[in-house]
Amino acid sequence: MAETINSGVAALRTLESWHVDHIYGIPGGTVNNLMYALDAEKDRIKYIHVRHEEVGALAAVADTKLTGHIGVAFGSAGPGATHLYQGAYDAMADKIPALFIVGQNPQALMNQDFFQEFDENPWFKDAGVYARTVMTAESLPHILDEAIRRAFAQHGPAFVTIPNDLANKEIPADGYYSAAANFAKPVLGPGPDEQIKQALDLISNAKKPLIYVGQGTIGAADEVMKFAKKFQVPVITTALGKEIIPYDFEALLGSAARVASKPANEALQETDLMLFVGSNYPFAEIMFKPDVKFIQIDSNPQVLGKRHKTDVAILADAKKSLQRFIELGSDSAPSDWYAANVDNVANWHQYNDDMMNRTDGELRFEPAFKEINRISEDDAIYSIDVGDVTQNAVRLLKVNGKQPWITSGLFATMGVGLPGAIAGKLSYPNRQVFNLAGDGAAAMVMQDLSTEVAYHLPIINVVFSNDALGFIEDEQEDEDHEWFGISLPQTDFAKAAEAQGMTGITVTKVDQMKAAFDKAVELNKAGKPVLIDVKITNERPIPVEKLTLDPDKYDQQTIDAFKKRYYADNLIPLSEFLKRHNVK
């Protein structure tokens, strides 16, 4: 008799071949056979029982972001499936491969409006690069293999719907295989020398050049910094590229727009040339001057010329191309433009340090970031939620180039911090992991603090509580609208954490901060998660997209009011540094 294997087990063995060692989900009648297979395979693949499928879906997306291996989550038919949707769109927007497995009623009951049944494939085809319903038990492993290959090849989420009966049949043990060992991604080289020399000519003739880098330059930090120094070109990163360049690099201007830094926004108003590398920056149409010379390097032909009229468009690998620029180009003379921006960065850093060191007045968010920087290990992982906490983290985390930094990028899903931290700790159990969230986002997913407890995941959760949706509150202020719908009820997140078996710490004063974070480190080293609820004032972070500092643009009374509100007496506009360095 031919040897057979359970189809559900074969499906999981296929996932394992793609380096999947954990999977998120919640049981349900239409995924029972998958659950039984997970029980049989529990020594090879770990089932993570989340409290909400959305958390599992977002964690799966974070898995891929952090490891490069496919993240996987499942939900049962009907509501379990639709709860996966938020993670699916998050993956679609950030172009992240992920696999979502959806339960379905047994085949004999399909298409009869049975309990929790709906036609799932049309729903998922919008977000997914692949969406199929398995038709035979024998094809189940193959369809999962196909879904993962499509997810990687097309940079997005894939969906496989499995009728419950098809995950519990005997199929030939030699009747399926995985393509994981054969999968390869296209490898691009540097751009053609002709194009690189054309770009170098434009750079040499520019008076105020910038290099703007995105996630396509992950792993190319050294090349970016060498390029910047060699050609005297300050560096801007996207917010999602926060982790790439060490915070202390002298010419790192930060990111632009609102979730951004002062030096980057100011430099963008002055530049006459941009080298745009490995990015599909969505705010380009708003932030980039239409008349600048524009050079673009990207490995994706779909984005070449997408965000700006482009003078030189190079389809190539970012790292290799920057290496070739460095090889072919001559060293630039010391640049007054570069020096002025270096001074501007130093002044901006000093402002942020002063804010983090404040001990008077009501408690603000900055002192908490001082403690996070103090206790962060060299390879710490930061999972950042959406809202004010995003822009504050962009400005204040002093990353060293070895600390992954993830959030929900283009879709900006609130509640993403905690799932990302769970994914980080599962994939890297020996590394320090932070979940940083505002109270609005924390309230959305705080039930899954119990997941951290259940699986002994020592994560440092920090909640910034200001009893408001601060990011939206500031938008309403900018639009001269009375605040409406943005207030949040006071919530004791420390007690909510304690109710789920986790240590909760509340901080209301600056002098409580150090002890709280020291305790968090102590608990983490003992293998325990912790939540620190930092009760902060609802003062607005400085709006770097609406700077009111330049005396050539604003009267002194307006400037003084801005400085008073944002404690910015010593903050100097770029225009002043340009004058000091005689930059016209």
Which residues are annotated as catalytic? 53, 115-116, 258, 386, 471-472, 475
Alpha-carbon distance of 393 to 411, in angstroms, equals 18
Alpha-carbon distance of 386 to 65, in angstroms, equals 17
CB 391 within 8 A of CB 399: no
- Residue 491, burial from CB neighbour count under 10 angstroms (0-12, 13-18, 19+): middle
CB 491 within 8 A of CB 465: yes
| Cα–Cα nearest to 408, from 111, 39, 98 | 98
Strand partners, 236: 212
CA 184-188-189 angle, to 5 degrees, is 140
CA 472-89-128 angle, to 5 degrees, is 165
CA 431-434-435 angle, to 5 degrees, is 140
Alpha-carbon distance of 466 to 192, in angstroms, equals 53
Residue-wise over 146-156: b if at least 16 C-beta within 10 A, else e?
A: bbbbbbbeeeb
386: region left, alpha or beta (phi > 0 left; psi from -120 to 50 alpha): beta
Alpha-carbon distance of 210 to 207, in angstroms, equals 10
Which residues neighbour 344 within 8 Å (Cβ) at sequence distance 6 or greater?
253, 262, 263, 266, 267, 572, 574, 577
Alpha-carbon distance of 27 to 267, in angstroms, equals 52
Start-to-end Cα distance in the chain: 85
Q: How remote is the C-alpha of 467 from its chain's centroid?
A: 24
CB 265 within 8 A of CB 285: no
Any idea what DSSP says for residue 492? -
Residues in the chain: 584
3-class state of residue 556 by DSSP:
helix
CB 271 within 8 A of CB 235: no
| Cα–Cα nearest to 523, from 510, 504, 541, 539 | 504
User: Strands of 381-384's sheet, edge to edge?
Assistant: 405-406, 381-384, 433-438, 460-465, 530-535, 503-507
Q: How remote is the C-alpha of 87 from its chain's centroid?
A: 13
**Any idea which residue has 């506009």 for tokens?**
573
3-class state of residue 291 by DSSP:
coil
Instruction: Indicate the pairing of strand 157-163 with strand 98-104.
Output: parallel
DSSP characters over 235-288: EEE-GGGTTTS-TT-TTB----SSSS-HHHHHHHHH-SEEEEES---TTHHHHS
